Amino acid sequence: MSRSPMRGGKAMSGRPPKRKMEKGIMGRTIKAVFKCYPKMMTFALICLIINAVISSIPSIFMERVFSVVEKALKANGGWAEYGAEITWNMLTLIGLYVVSLILGAINNQLMAIITQGVLKKMRGRMFDGMQNLPIKYFDANSNGDIMSYYTNDIDSLRQMISQSLPQLLNSTIMVLTLFFIMLWYSLWLTLIVLGGVFFVLLVTKIVGGGAGKYFVGQQRAMGKTEGFIEEMMNGQKVVKVFCHEEAAKADFDKVNEHLYDQSNRANRYANMLMPILGNIGHVLYVIIALIGGAFIIGSVSNTSIGTAAGSVSIVFNIALVVAFLQMTRQFCNNINQVSNQVNSVVMGVAGAKRVFDLIDQQPEADDGYVTLVNAREVDGVITECEERTDVWAWKHPHGDGTVTYTKLCGDVVLDEVDFEYEQGKPVLQDVSIYAKPGQKVAFVGATGAGKTTITNLINRFYDIADGKIRYDGININKIKKADLRRSLGIVLQDTNLFTGTVMDNIRYGKLDATDEDCIAAAKLAGADDFIRRLPDGYNTMLTSNGANLSQGQRQLVSIARAAVADPPVMILDEATSSIDTRTEAIVSRGMDALMHGRTVFVIAHRLSTVKNSDVIIVLDHGRIIERGSHEKLIEQKGQYYKLYTGAFELE
């Protein structure tokens, strides 16, 4: 028999595949924002640029007003001659401030709309992608860490899009605008300012670089902390039963200490940066004032673009130095803003990277092309039809353009199947099982023998390493996963009920089921009696995984959910493990009716529940060591006999 290459042997490490875009998270974020709101974002960007330029030019009018006042003091005409010019400059400045205020308000409103819209779409992309991820991804990542994507990381992204990036761009534009204005007025004073800026950038690189590293660590530590808390919340009863409170506290202290350490280091660096930069700006302001004053006293010649154009005084004067002091303060403040936003941007990029990592996760591979369709059978001929019937068929297109239909019967064959979660660590070896339609096949064996793994392979939660699994004679790799799983009914040992009514939870197995179908399924499972005794019957709301129901009642609802799907193949993984003996007797009758005419795979530790199985398969360390009916296996007095009589435990 030919062996297929290993398809699903390796378990995921939990880390997403490395991509070239990892180095361009910022660019990818900006691209995503423009893609969502191209026109609105363009208009917001125009408003921001104009506002930044307008906010940079008050010093120009200040210089003009001081120059006019200086002329007025020297001239005989005084206010009468220069008052109109002073008034015009002041009114123009006020007008620019009003325009800046309006543009700033518009920009803020637009960015609020854009940010929330982008985050909504990001959450939608993450959730949609998460629905298509393979089961092994959730095996490798804690629920709390996954939840952190939707809370902490999204919030960091919100902070970056709505505040950090706009402020960074605004400050950068103002710095560039002020730089050219300063060159226009004085080359010498500009060189002094640039010397101070060089020192600012050096400090930012040293201090800001350390903050960035720890902010990334903080995001990861936060995800681990939330994962630990979520795990402890779900297992609170177990913690109390085993008096594990103190140990749980100690474990949490370790996780919390790591988060504290990362956050403390990150914020310590970040909080050091602003005071240092602020004081550098103050020192630079004083230096410019002292040197400017000395230039005025010494009547030093001024060199600038403006003096070359004849628009600026060729010697230093009070008007020029006072205006330059204002520009220096603005320039330093905006340099500080740029430096300050670096930490927020780094934190936002760390959050964005995790968000994109989740979006970039490879979806569950599905190369199947055989689909499940409604069919009609007349004289042994199967034809496809649109209306709902009691007959289902596999629609199998072929390379030559022809299509064949195979009736869905529930014939399942595992042929020499090997499987491993991690390469080099086999879980199943050379497993062959033949389940004919209507047969009940039971799996027994010690914990870890591979019982649940077999059922996970049948519904392709994982792909086999070698061998073949055929369903009605069709290799399940050729069947689309959604159609394959639609033909299977599964009742798991761990019940999962969703927020909604009891009726909604039963209908989860078949979304187009009527209320009558759901009630019939509940009766079949033996759940109808207790459901009608609930406060609102089938309309009783369930929350927190059905916390207002007992464990047995939750299991009964889960069985009813599988019953309403009415599949030809049922997988019962310890389906009655949470039901007491009396309730089990009630359920058994419903289960017998549910299993009638179906291929059923049963996993049970209570061997009394599998006595009437057509075939009982005994597994040990991933290998089949015995198979046969209950009576046959008892006669053999092998492993099953020991398990059934308790002799295995005695040994």
Query: Average pLDDT over the chain, rounded to whole?
Result: 82
Most confident of 272-276, 294-298, 589-593: 294-298
% helix, strand, coil for the chain, step of 5: 60, 15, 25
**Residue 9 covered by a domain:** no
- Banded pLDDT at 75 (limits 50, 70, 90): low
What would the pLDDT profile of 91-150 be if each residue is shown by its tens digit? 888 888 899 899 999 999 999 999 999 999 999 899 988 888 888 888 888 777 788 888
Q: Are residues 400 and 441 in the same domain?
A: no
Pairing of strands 488-491, 569-573: parallel
Q: Are residues 403 and 452 in the same domain?
A: no
Q: Are residues 29 and 43 in the same domain?
A: yes
Residues 6+ apart with CB under 8 A from 17: 360, 362
Residue 468, phi then psi, degrees to nearest 5: -140, 145
Among 360, 390, 422, identify where a domain stops.
360
What would the pLDDT profile of 338-389 be if each residue is shown by its tens digit? 777 776 787 788 888 889 988 988 888 888 899 999 888 888 788 888 887 7
Q: What is the DSSP string of 76-105?
A: SSTHHHHHHHHHHHHHHHHHHHHHHHHHHH
**Residue 10 covered by a domain:** no
Radius of gyration in angstroms for the set of CA atoms belonging to the chain, rounded to a whole number: 37
Residues 6+ apart with CB under 8 A from 242: none
Q: Are residues 355 and 397 in the same domain?
A: no
Question: How confident is the model at residue 431, as a pLDDT?
Answer: 92
What would the pLDDT profile of 392-440 be if each residue is shown by its tens digit? 899 999 888 899 999 888 899 999 999 988 888 889 999 999 998 888 8
| β-sheet with 615-620: strand ranges across | 488-491, 569-573, 599-603, 440-445, 615-620, 623-628
What would the pLDDT profile of 483-515 be if each residue is shown by its tens digit? 998 888 888 777 788 888 999 999 988 888 899
Residue 3, amino acid: R
Q: Are 500 and 433 in contact (CB under 8 A)?
A: no
Quick one: which of 413, 459, 407, 451 has its CA closest to 435?
Answer: 413
Separation of alpha carbons 619 and 641, rounded Å? 13
Q: What is the dihedral of CA 54, 58, 64, 70, to 10 degrees?
A: 170
Q: Are residues 315 and 382 in the same domain?
A: no
- Consecutive H or E run containing 602: strand 599-603
Question: How confident is the model at residue 224, as a pLDDT?
Answer: 79
Separation of alpha carbons 214 and 164, rounded Å? 18
**Residue 15 covered by a domain:** no
- Banded pLDDT at 244 (limits 50, 70, 90): confident
**Residue 536 covered by a domain:** yes
Quick one: which of 487, 482, 485, 509 has its CA closest to 497?
Answer: 509
Q: What is the dihedral of CA 643, 647, 649, 651, to 10 degrees?
A: -130
Q: Are residues 403 and 486 in the same domain?
A: no
Residue 596 has pLDDT above 80, yes or no: no
Separation of alpha carbons 537 and 200, rounded Å? 70
Measured over all CA atoms, what is the biggest interatomic distance in the chain, rounded to whole angstroms? 128
- Consecutive H or E run containing 419: strand 412-422
Token digits of residue 446: 């010690």
Mean pLDDT of 29-54: 91
- Consecutive H or E run containing 615: strand 615-620
What would the pLDDT profile of 5-36 be if each residue is shown by its tens digit? 333 333 333 444 443 444 588 888 889 999 99
What would the pLDDT profile of 597-639 be if each residue is shown by its tens digit? 788 898 877 777 788 888 999 998 889 999 998 899 998 888 8
Question: How confident is the model at residue 9, as a pLDDT?
Answer: 37
Q: Are residues 375 and 444 in the same domain?
A: no
Residue 496, phi then psi, degrees to nearest 5: -130, 110
Judged on CB neighbours under 10 Å (0-12, 13-18, 19+), 367 is exposed
**Residue 224 covered by a domain:** yes
pTM value?
A: 0.72
Q: Are 419 and 454 in contact (CB under 8 A)?
A: no
What would the pLDDT profile of 179-202 be if each residue is shown by its tens digit? 888 888 888 888 988 888 888 777
Question: How confident is the model at residue 575, as a pLDDT?
Answer: 66
Mean pLDDT of 156-185: 88
Strands (E), 436-495: 440-445, 466-471, 474-475, 488-491
Q: Are residues 334 and 381 in the same domain?
A: no
**Residue 34 covered by a domain:** yes
- Residue 400: other Cβ atoms inside 10 A: 5
Q: Are 454 and 405 in contact (CB under 8 A)?
A: no
Tell me if residue 407 falls in helix, strand or coil.
strand
Quick one: which of 565, 250, 200, 184 has its CA closest to 392?
Answer: 565
Q: What is the DSSP string of 116-156?
A: HHHHHHHHHHHHHHHHTS-HHHHHHS-HHHHHHIIIIIHHH
Beta bridge partners of 412: 435, 471
What would the pLDDT profile of 462-488 be if each residue is shown by its tens digit? 888 899 999 999 999 999 998 998 888
Q: Are residues 509 and 383 in the same domain?
A: no
- Banded pLDDT at 587 (limits 50, 70, 90): low
Q: What percent of the chain has pLDDT over 70?
A: 87
Beta bridge partners of 491: 572
Where in the sequence is the domain holding 381, given as residue range(s)?
371-407
**Residue 8 covered by a domain:** no
Quick one: which of 121, 111, 122, 118 has its CA closest to 166?
Answer: 111
- Banded pLDDT at 518 (limits 50, 70, 90): very high
Residue with tokens 């002020």: 178
Separation of alpha carbons 423 and 128, rounded Å? 30
Residue 239 has pLDDT above 50, yes or no: yes
Separation of alpha carbons 424 and 442, rounded Å? 28
Token digits of residue 93: 């400045």
Q: Are residues 327 and 429 in the same domain?
A: no
- Banded pLDDT at 3 (limits 50, 70, 90): very low
- Residue 79: other Cβ atoms inside 10 A: 11
**Residue 147 covered by a domain:** yes
Residue 46 has pLDDT above 90, yes or no: yes
Beta bridge partners of 375: 384, 391
Work out how many domains the chain is built from and give that number.
3
Mean pLDDT of 520-544: 88
Q: Are residues 73 and 158 in the same domain?
A: yes
* Domain at 478, CATH number: 3.40.50.300
Question: How confident is the model at residue 583, as a pLDDT?
Answer: 66
Mean pLDDT of 529-542: 91
Question: How confident is the model at residue 305, as a pLDDT?
Answer: 82
Residue with tokens 């030559």: 400
Question: How confident is the model at residue 538, as a pLDDT?
Answer: 92
Residue 236 has pLDDT above 80, yes or no: no
Among 381, 407, 433, identify where a domain stops.
407
C-alpha distances in Å from residue 126, one per residue of 11, 140, 163, 330, 432: 21, 17, 23, 41, 39
Q: Are residues 203 and 132 in the same domain?
A: yes
* Domain at 323, CATH number: 1.20.1560.10
